[in-house]
A and B are shown apart, each in its own frame.
Chain A
Amino acid sequence: MANMSLNKVAMPEQDPNIRNKNFEEVALGYGIEQAIEEATRCLQCKHKPCVGGCPVNVPIPEFIKQVAEGNLEEAYQIITSENSLPAICGRVCPQESQCEGVCVRGIKGEAVGIGRLERFVADYHIQNVETVVPEIQKNGIKVAVVGAGPAGLSCAGDLAKRGYDVTIFEALHDLGGVLIYGIPEFRLPKKLVATEVDNIAKMGVTINKNVVVGRSITIEELFEEDYKAVFVGSGAGLPKFLGIEGENLNGVYSANEFLTRVNLMKAYNQDQSPTPIRVGDNVAVVGGGNVAMDAARTALRLGAKEVSIVYRRSEDELPARREEVHHAKEEGVVFRLLNNPIKVIGNEAGWVTGMECVKMELGEPDASGRRSPIEMPNSNYILDVNTVIMAIGQSPNPLIRQTTPGLDVR
């Protein structure tokens, strides 16, 4: 008989007032007993809605069954039959809108903690089991993968398992894409990313860092070098700005720049990193997604006294994972919802001194059913800030499109 508790087994976390001053991981993960207890909440539904909700079709009930029985390595093997990056996905996938969003237990009470269990299984494996690479029958076919983000790494791992001769080309000096430059240490320890990358390398994938495809070598040239297929996983790395006055003042960052300095270049540890970062006492982060939450929480940890999220819609529309919003609030991030920046204000020397905002209200639903925000007349005010971080989204880097004739992009 399944465990009918309506709530997930709680996952231990660092205290909000301690963790908002350090870069250690916030969520500490289940122990064996907690994991088994949570696993017994799974009803082992025959129609497996969770698998349909998972973008890579992990056999979820099957792995959870193994956890419930204490067979953790079996559980790991089941997960990795479909997912090369379980320690990462268990931590950062938006489960509430994927597998857990369609979990039958979620109809009344909380869904099964699928992400937490996946994380537990992967961590247990990393800590206790030496990964052995199964004998792979090579087929001798060369495939190139552009970009070592989660997409490229997964693709490389899956193809290597099937015997392809895979080479990854990555522009940066480190592997992981957003996992390494964007998502902060306190949410996804970089050591884990390195371990997952190692596991992929162990399968015989060749990794070339510091190669910008489109510049160092083009896709056409890859085909000339006898690659039979090229997978482009170059991500959506081009930061957007609002296009408002004052955005190029000193002290305005894109979230990518801010997070890259802190994560990839390790500026959070100024004793060891020569890359500088500067965060003022009062910080505004514009946007409401995961990136905005990460930037806001990072700014707090770097010593900012007040950090606000400035978002033009309301709480219900915040695109971030729910857990991140919850964590950010706990840590003391101020949410200025239904507020829209219209101008960044600076001093003579070109440094930010404030941001003019206008208050918004939600109008009638538009064609897509979303209620779009409209400005409230005469509601302008100046937010007293000296750092502004723009986290309003990214678009694909145009480099490959520009340097690959005949590439059809929609």
Chain B
Amino acid sequence: MYKILKKEALNQTVELIEVEAPFVAKKCEPGQFIILRVNEVGERVPLTIADYDREKGSVTIIYQVVGYSTKLLSEMKVGDFINDFVGPLGQPANLKKHNRVLGIGGGVGAAPLYPQLRKLKEMGTQVDVVLGGRSAEYVILGKEFEDICDNVYYATNDGSLGITGFVTDVLNSQLEKGVEYDEVIAIGPLIMMKAVVNITKPINLPTAVSLNPIMIDGTGMCGGCRVTVGGKTRFACVDGPDFDGFEVDFDECMRRQGMYKEEEKDHACRIGL
């Protein structure tokens, strides 16, 4: 059983919890994830590690309340116990010291992006970030990024924070201004990552993306998380979740992601959403 040490609402639908999980905290690296089950009949829910404290033996995760299990999680309080919490899973992100890197975080994608950029910063890389969302309240961790990044840009659909538009508009304008990035790390909805790669690939600007397909075990046992990267089938839970954006078949990812849409709707009904 894994105790909830801290809980915070980041906006209307996004929450942060810090969980006591010494095995995970001891070894995890940016880019890795955990799988939790809220209770003894729960689904296995993969969530990326947003932060960790090795001394305290705790791990922070940030999640959007979207369906049955995240709703259950959201009902838990500090001091409650999560039934299962396993990790760290997946490969650590392949972070290298560069001159300058641009992070792009869409919605909750900002959460997994944060430890990666922090680590790059610690390595001595100049780090800029674009955070995007539907409106200001969907943009999370702005303050945390401002603490570690050299420049923070915002893009919202309604213009309530930063420019009116998409994260890719900021990317384009940075490139037009002639800012030289060695790498882009884009984490967010598939459609956003695809749009980023559509810009960076033609100019050969290396782009890492993080995939979160449907998963069950997270140990390479089921193949449910398979994605096509560079024409080959890879298991995101063991070979990823970070991949070279140029090589990812985003359209296939999007189709596979929608596989249980109907069943998930059903769940939502059952909990009266």
Give chain A's interface residues, CB within 8 Å of chain B.
Answer: 171-173, 181, 209-212, 215-217, 237-239, 241, 243, 247-250, 253-254, 256-257, 260-261, 264-266, 272-276, 278, 349-350, 397-399
What range describes how many residues of B lie at the interface? 35 or more
Contact (A265, B43) CB under 8 Å given A216-B27, A216-B87: yes
B256 CB contact (under 8 Å) in A181, A209, A238, A350? A350
Question: In the complex, are the beta carbons of B68 and A216 less than 8 A apart?
Answer: no
Chain B residue nearest in CB terms to A178: B221
CA distance A175 to B101 in the complex (A): 44
Interface segment, one of B170-178, B203-211, B258-266: B258-266
- For residue A181, which residues in chain B have a CB less than 8 angstroms away from its CB? 217, 221
CA distance A349 to B27 in the complex (A): 40
A212 CB contact (under 8 Å) in B44, B87, B223? B87
Question: In the complex, are the beta carbons of A239 and B222 less than 8 A apart?
Answer: yes
Task: Give chain B nearest CB distance to A359 CB in angstroms.
Answer: 27
CA distance A342 to B217 in the complex (A): 28
**Which 7 A-B residue pairings sit nearest by Cβ, starting from the closest?**
A350-B255, A276-B263, A257-B222, A210-B86, A254-B223, A237-B221, A173-B84
Question: In the complex, are the beta carbons of B219 and A209 less than 8 A apart?
Answer: no
Task: Beyond the given A172-B219, A275-B43, please list 11 additional residue pairs across the A-B interface where CB-CB is below 8 A.
Answer: A173-B84, A211-B86, A216-B88, A237-B219, A237-B220, A237-B221, A238-B221, A250-B258, A253-B224, A272-B41, A275-B44
- For residue B223, which residues in chain A have a CB less than 8 angstroms away from its CB? 239, 241, 253-254, 256-257
- For residue A276, which residues in chain B have a CB less than 8 angstroms away from its CB? 260, 263-264
Question: In the complex, are the beta carbons of B42 and A274 less than 8 A apart?
Answer: yes
Chain B interface mostly helix, strand, loop or mixed?
mixed
How many inter-chain residue pairs (CB < 8 Å) link A and B?
112
Contact (A247, B87) CB under 8 Å given A239-B222, A254-B223: no
Question: In the complex, are the beta carbons of A274 and B43 less than 8 A apart?
Answer: yes
Question: In the complex, are the beta carbons of B44 and A173 less than 8 A apart?
Answer: yes
Question: In the complex, are the beta carbons of B85 and A210 less than 8 A apart?
Answer: yes
Question: In the complex, are the beta carbons of A256 and B27 less than 8 A apart?
Answer: no
Question: In the complex, are the beta carbons of B219 and A239 less than 8 A apart?
Answer: no
Which residues of B from 50 to 92 have beta carbons under 8 Å from A? 68-69, 83-89
Tell me if B194 is interfacial: C-beta within 8 Å of chain A: no
Interface pairs (27), CB distance under 8 Å: A171-B217, A173-B44, A173-B84, A210-B85, A216-B23, A216-B87, A216-B88, A217-B23, A217-B26, A217-B27, A238-B221, A239-B223, A241-B223, A248-B226, A250-B258, A253-B224, A254-B223, A256-B221, A257-B216, A257-B222, A260-B222, A265-B44, A265-B216, A273-B43, A274-B43, A274-B68, A274-B267
Chain A residue nearest in CB terms to B86: A210
Contact (A274, B86) CB under 8 Å given A237-B219, A238-B220, A397-B220: no
- For residue B84, which residues in chain A have a CB less than 8 angstroms away from its CB? 173, 209-210
- For residue B83, which residues in chain A have a CB less than 8 angstroms away from its CB? 173
Task: Give chain A nearest CB distance to B223 CB in angstroms.
Answer: 4
Tell me if B157 is interfacial: C-beta within 8 Å of chain A: no
Question: In the complex, are the beta carbons of B86 and A260 less than 8 A apart?
Answer: no
CA distance A276 to B83 in the complex (A): 20
Contact (A274, B41) CB under 8 Å given A215-B89, A216-B23, A399-B238: yes
Tell me if B99 is interfacial: C-beta within 8 Å of chain A: no
A250 CB contact (under 8 Å) in B42, B217, B220, B259? B259
CA distance A399 to B41 in the complex (A): 27
Tell me if B135 is interfacial: C-beta within 8 Å of chain A: no
Contact (A212, B41) CB under 8 Å given A238-B220, A250-B259, A260-B216: no
- For residue B41, which residues in chain A have a CB less than 8 angstroms away from its CB? 266, 272-274
B263 CB contact (under 8 Å) in A253, A260, A278? A278
Question: In the complex, are the beta carbons of B86 and A256 less than 8 A apart?
Answer: no
Question: In the complex, are the beta carbons of A248 and B256 less than 8 A apart?
Answer: yes
Task: Give chain A nearest CB distance to B33 CB in angstroms.
Answer: 11
Of the candidates B69, B86, B252, the one having the most CB atoms from chain A within 10 angstroms of its own CB is B86
CA distance A257 to B260 in the complex (A): 14
